[in-house]
Structure 1
Amino acid sequence: MTSLTYPDNVSSLADYIEQVLVRFADKPAYTALGQTLTFSQIDTYSRAFASYLRHHTDLQPGERIAIQLPNLIQNPIAVYGALRAGLVVVNTNPLYTEREMKHQFTDSGAKALVILSDLLPKFEAIKADTGIATVITTSATELLDPDSAPDIDGTTSLTVVLDKGSAQSLPSRPETQLDELCMLQYTGGTTGVSKGAALSHRNVLANSIQTLDRLGARFRDGKEVVVCPLPLYHIYAFTVCMMTFFAKGCQTILIPNPRDIDGFIHTLKPHKFTTFAGINTLFVGLGRHPEFAKLDFSELHLTLSGGTALTKGAVAIWKDVTGCSITEGYGLSETAPVLCFNNPGEEEIGTVGLPLTDTDIVLLDSHDNSVPEGESGQIAARGPQVMLGYWNRDDETAKVMTEDGFFKTGDVGEFTESGAVKIVDRLKDMILVSGFNVYPNEVEDVLTSHPDVMEAAVVGMPDDNSGERVCAFITTGKEIDTDALRAYCREHLTGYKVPKTITVLEELPKSTVGKILRRELRKAS
């Protein structure tokens, strides 16, 4: 029996959103490009957006709408509006190539698209191959200056959408069940073609409630100021920032381009932020920037990490600069996303914490049997946040689900004595050296503990003698003796885990979310 308590009169994520918009009407909701809108303004805009979709398009409830926007306030307006119109959201990376856009739009069967006008030429090149008939465009500054609204044949600007939508009332949504499809969240495609994780209203709603339960009373209603540099099209920021923190009446500061560290820091200067949602590479990059240390961290009491492994070096740098510890969690697109999360203020560093409420975690061997106590195995999870399956891919769904309903994550983990989950590594990234397992995360953690190493990535390469050899790639802000660094590794690692080669790069390949892409290093070597 579930121990989660769902809000009254909520049968869809749209109901949940509407209750929040009313409850915190006068509070600031989102800030971007120096502009702040209240929950009431977001309510007005998203209602108008939904009304336009219902009155001025042929879209029917349950059909898919792709949203391809960076971290601008237009993003939550479009997402909330689409859900309020009864549509299924398809989050789309603004940096996608034409090939990636075509795959996602055709695979999802999207009928509409909300897109930054700068990106429109890429869509125009593949439009004929998709089923998209409704295209809504927006410029980065459109909410600040309606005169900057794009005027492009065959598309409708957001300004026109909001004007037309506000002139008519929003029809009531068809009755929805929590277990109906709410959104398609496409996986990164690291193990083949990108697949759409089909998430229900219950998946996202439950995960929001589960995460709030773990955050506890120290996360205050209507008083938190959240920094969100992670892209809202990614499941981490989508659920944690745009649903969970939003539900507590937080003011969310959206960072459109976190790679512009100088601009990022300048954006934060006026704010006494209380919460920061980031990932390992961001903590290191900001923590080592001299201007970042000059910011006001007096109110910062919660820093969240997810999406990729958190290194001890990043934890130390962040704590030294901000005075705030990092609370690490773990999840995947297929789990909406959070499965485990540390108790804020009681972090067990090096782990991702205990499973959330109503979440069962088991460790499996290669035959889907539980491993003996104390051993590592593939993490498998069961709970209300686990996806319905992969969109139109029953074959792929069958590969990742056990007979008793556990989702196999592809990650290797182990339990600590406290019951917390410790991530060892991705199953597919494990390196086999003369029959011994080497997990890149462990080697990377040692490398980044060296004071001269900023970032590290470790991959396995074919070797005639040992099957595979350990190869490391690092970035550093100064001259470094790689032989001395290998000697440092020998002090902390068994011999077969020590990198055979260490290559210094100006930067490591990363995804748009900031994850280091080991596969790109394997290709280039």
Structure 2
Amino acid sequence: MTETMSRLSGRAAEKIWVQSYPASVPAEIAPHAHPSLGALFEASCAKFSERQAFTSMGRSMTFRELEDQSRKVGAWLQSKGLSKGDRVAVMTPNILQNPVTVYGILRAGLTVVNVNPLYTPRELEHQLKDSGAKAIMVLENFAHTVQQVVDRTDVKHVVVCTMGDMLGLKGHIVNFVVRKVKKLVPAWTIPGHTSFKAMLAEGARQTLKPVAVSPGDIAFLQYTGGTTGVSKGAALTHANLLANKQQIALWLEAAFAGQSRPDVLNFVCALPLYHIFALTVNSLMGIALGGHNLLIANPRDIPAFIKELQSYKSHVFPGLNTLFNAMMNNPDFKKIDFSSLMLVLGGGMAIQRPVAERWLQMTGRPITEGYGLSETSPVATVNRLDAREFSGMIGLPLPSTDIEIRDEDGKTLPIGEVGEICIRGPQVMAGYWQRPEETAKVMSADGFFRSGDMGLMDERGYVKIVDRKKDMILVSGFNVYPNEIEEVAVMHPGVLECAAVGVPDGHSGEAVKLFVVKKDEALTIDELKAHCAANLTNYKRPRYIEFRTELPKTNVGKILRRELRDQK
């Protein structure tokens, strides 16, 4: 029996993609070595104690320091009466306070609720209410948003950090520049709040009590949009994240076959840690492998970002199409030494072939595309990391992952036919937080998650996305749901009805276009854009608005978004 046939035996027999795996990758992952993310974190901190774990704005933190500071956070939260399963929101960009707080929450047996710092008060209020968060840690730059809604939520403890809190003496200069020079901190007042430094000082006098956390307990509520326009929390268990960590680790190991692997992997963390891609691929993988993550607080500042990369030997670089494109369009990009770069991982949105080809030409390294969702922790498929060219596919299902292409009736389609990509595996969420009806809509009776993406599988087991079943719009890797945009737009008294669709955009992949029928003829585009800006975070706002006298509809009156999309 050949090696390929041997590897296709048993449970893997029907998994045609296994024949395309690197030789070292098994069809199934092994059982978890740790019962929880907190246990994994503590083991890694002990094993890699002297290594640098995270660097932000020139300040590096070792695994030993990370363990010490996160223990204080966990002890403080417990001292405030929070108990196993309680939710704690984290609302920061990529700064050291983020991993310190996130791992402190997990070690205390609590659940992390990741929050986009750029949320409007309306968006934040929904997420805090829906999750039932009892505490929140927020960067002072965004405290004014929390101030506007906190009294209408269950939040009892607000911790406010500053950009410079963990930067030592340099932190005073950073805070002065952020507050006084750049004026990035709007005035805010939250009575009874605790400063981040005070939390650490108080936590140092407390003891972190052990909590029995099982693999099935919820580690994160990762909020995602929905076809109804209501943001839902994907309940990701400790087992979900641990499984995805193992799956990615097996794939990574195969990438280093035939090349010298560095003792410490240096990750570039430009994607926001509140996004599931960076949470797993940067933070969790960095912790598990004893890697070093360079945190980029504002990747939109391309000149500053490129300057940081010039003095950092990066090995693993996860990113988005928009980020790669913006970097290459900066004249200083050519000054970066990419000789140490080993892996460039593209996700969050489709990688455009011209961008991938230009990146390979300029850096000598291909972009390897993968695919996943918040609901899958996130990685479900990825191309082989030893590939030397861009494939245009989203890759092979990871070990222990089943992918089926199904029709509207849930029937599995033959190889090469287009249907909905359905995913089953240990990384698939437990369900949507307190929304059993929404969960039932996306989970099949046999455990497959309906992704809403249309695709096909070829005879090698590679998957390709061809379209989206949902009307979801993908802006720079973030899901935007038309119902939410439309709901906000019709709040304006001058709007009779509207429809939001995605249109191609060279920078962000897609952008939101809003078609509007006026109720008030005096309504202007600028007025409506200002209304949307007050209620929607930046990437959700309509970039284009077109007034129409009527919108295309079905016989029963449903607006035909697809027809509008086709018209552009």
TM-score, structure 2 as length reference: 0.75
Aligned residue in 1 for 2:275: 234
Aligned residue in 2 for 1:54: 78
Aligned counterpart in structure 2 of residue 404 of structure 1, from 446, 455, 466? 446
Aligned counterpart in structure 2 of residue 158 of structure 1, from 172, 191, 196? 196
Aligned residue in 2 for 1:372: 414
What is the root-mean-square deviation of aligned Cα atoms in Å? 2.9
Aligned residue in 2 for 1:498: none
Distance 1:523 1:114 in 2: 40
Aligned residue in 2 for 1:326: 367
3-state SS of the aligned residue for 2:337? coil
Aligned residue in 1 for 2:49: 25
Question: What's the CA shift for 1:372?
Answer: 2.8
When residues 97 and 516 of structure 1 are mapped into structure 2, their CA distance, relative to the original with a 3 A threshold, is closer
Distance 2:61 2:206 in 1: 22
Question: What's the CA shift for 1:225?
Answer: 0.9
3-state SS of the aligned residue for 2:470? helix
When residues 238 and 472 of structure 1 are mapped into structure 2, their CA distance, relative to the original with a 3 A threshold, is closer
**Does structure 2 conserve the Cα–Cα contact (< 8 Å) formed by 1:281 and 1:515?**
no
For the pair 1:187 / 2:212, whether they are aligned, the reply is: no
Question: What's the CA shift for 1:367?
Answer: 1.3
**Does structure 1 conserve the Cα–Cα contact (< 8 Å) formed by 2:421 and 2:453?**
yes
Aligned residue in 2 for 1:500: none
Aligned residue in 2 for 1:127: 150
3-state SS of the aligned residue for 1:428? coil
Distance 1:265 1:419 in 2: 37
**Does structure 1 conserve the Cα–Cα contact (< 8 Å) formed by 2:380 and 2:397?**
yes
When residues 100 and 152 of structure 1 are mapped into structure 2, their CA distance, relative to the original with a 3 A threshold, is closer
Deviations 1:81-128 (A, max 9, x none): 000011000000000000000000000000000101121111111111
Distance 1:332 1:405 in 2: 16
* Structure with more relative contact order (C-alpha pairs < 8 Å, separation 6 or more): 2
Question: What's the CA shift for 1:205?
Answer: 0.7
Question: What's the CA shift for 1:278?
Answer: 0.2
Aligned residue in 2 for 1:138: 161
Question: Which shows bigger deviation, 31-40 or 417-426?
Answer: 417-426
Question: What's the CA shift for 1:39?
Answer: 0.9
Aligned residue in 2 for 1:317: 358
3-state SS of the aligned residue for 1:216? helix
Aligned residue in 2 for 1:67: 90
Question: What's the CA shift for 1:417?
Answer: 2.9
**Does structure 1 conserve the Cα–Cα contact (< 8 Å) formed by 2:285 and 2:291?**
no
Aligned residue in 2 for 1:389: 431
Aligned counterpart in structure 1 of residue 238 of structure 2, from 182, 201, 208? 201
Letter in 1 for 2:29: L
Question: Which shows bigger deviation, 162-171 or 301-310?
Answer: 162-171
3-state SS of the aligned residue for 1:182? strand
Deviations 1:228-263 (A, max 9, x none): 110000000011111023211111011111111111
**Does structure 2 conserve the Cα–Cα contact (< 8 Å) formed by 1:411 and 1:423?**
yes
Aligned residue in 2 for 1:466: none
When residues 523 and 263 of structure 1 are mapped into structure 2, their CA distance, relative to the original with a 3 A threshold, is farther
Aligned residue in 2 for 1:251: 292
Question: What's the CA shift for 1:202?
Answer: 0.3
Deviations 1:384-443 (A, max 9, x none): 00011111111111111111110000001111232111111221359xxxxxxxxx99xx
3-state SS of the aligned residue for 1:315? helix
Question: What's the CA shift for 1:58?
Answer: 1.5
Letter in 2 for 1:171: K
When residues 197 and 162 of structure 1 are mapped into structure 2, their CA distance, relative to the original with a 3 A threshold, is same
Distance 2:118 2:394 in 1: 29
**Does structure 2 conserve the Cα–Cα contact (< 8 Å) formed by 1:151 and 1:157?**
no
**Does structure 2 conserve the Cα–Cα contact (< 8 Å) formed by 1:351 and 1:421?**
yes
3-state SS of the aligned residue for 2:102? helix
For the pair 1:3 / 2:28, whether they are aligned, the reply is: yes
Provide the identity percentage.
43
For the pair 1:416 / 2:440, whether they are aligned, the reply is: no
Distance 1:517 1:155 in 2: 30
Distance 2:39 2:60 in 1: 24
Aligned counterpart in structure 2 of residue 357 of structure 1, from 380, 385, 399? 399
Aligned residue in 2 for 1:425: 467
Question: What's the CA shift for 1:3?
Answer: 3.1
When residues 474 and 279 of structure 1 are mapped into structure 2, their CA distance, relative to the original with a 3 A threshold, is closer
Aligned counterpart in structure 1 of residue 248 of structure 2, from 197, 202, 211? 211
When residues 105 and 471 of structure 1 are mapped into structure 2, their CA distance, relative to the original with a 3 A threshold, is closer
When residues 18 and 31 of structure 1 are mapped into structure 2, their CA distance, relative to the original with a 3 A threshold, is same
Distance 1:190 1:232 in 2: 25
Aligned residue in 1 for 2:118: 95
Question: Which shows bigger deviation, 367-376 or 203-212?
Answer: 367-376
3-state SS of the aligned residue for 2:278? helix
For the pair 1:110 / 2:110, whether they are aligned, the reply is: no
TM-score, structure 1 as length reference: 0.81
When residues 373 and 518 of structure 1 are mapped into structure 2, their CA distance, relative to the original with a 3 A threshold, is farther
For the pair 1:171 / 2:209, whether they are aligned, the reply is: yes
3-state SS of the aligned residue for 2:83? coil
Question: Which shows bigger deviation, 253-262 or 187-196?
Answer: 187-196
Distance 1:333 1:123 in 2: 24
Letter in 2 for 1:186: Y
Question: What's the CA shift for 1:163?
Answer: 1.5
3-state SS of the aligned residue for 1:291? helix
Aligned residue in 2 for 1:275: 316
Letter in 1 for 2:243: A
Distance 1:305 1:352 in 2: 10
When residues 42 and 523 of structure 1 are mapped into structure 2, their CA distance, relative to the original with a 3 A threshold, is farther
For the pair 1:307 / 2:348, whether they are aligned, the reply is: yes
Aligned residue in 2 for 1:12: 36
Letter in 2 for 1:111: K
Distance 1:269 1:415 in 2: 40
Aligned residue in 1 for 2:558: none
Aligned residue in 2 for 1:501: none
Distance 1:518 1:250 in 2: 37
Distance 2:359 2:404 in 1: 32
Question: What's the CA shift for 1:34?
Answer: 1.1
Question: What's the CA shift for 1:522?
Answer: 7.4
**Does structure 2 conserve the Cα–Cα contact (< 8 Å) formed by 1:221 and 1:249?**
no
Question: What's the CA shift for 1:5?
Answer: 2.0
3-state SS of the aligned residue for 2:207? coil
Question: Which shows bigger deviation, 64-73 or 343-352?
Answer: 343-352
Distance 2:273 2:87 in 1: 18
When residues 304 and 522 of structure 1 are mapped into structure 2, their CA distance, relative to the original with a 3 A threshold, is farther
Question: How many residues matched?
Answer: 453
**Does structure 2 conserve the Cα–Cα contact (< 8 Å) formed by 1:221 and 1:250?**
no
Letter in 2 for 1:182: A
Distance 2:540 2:82 in 1: 38
Distance 1:391 1:366 in 2: 26
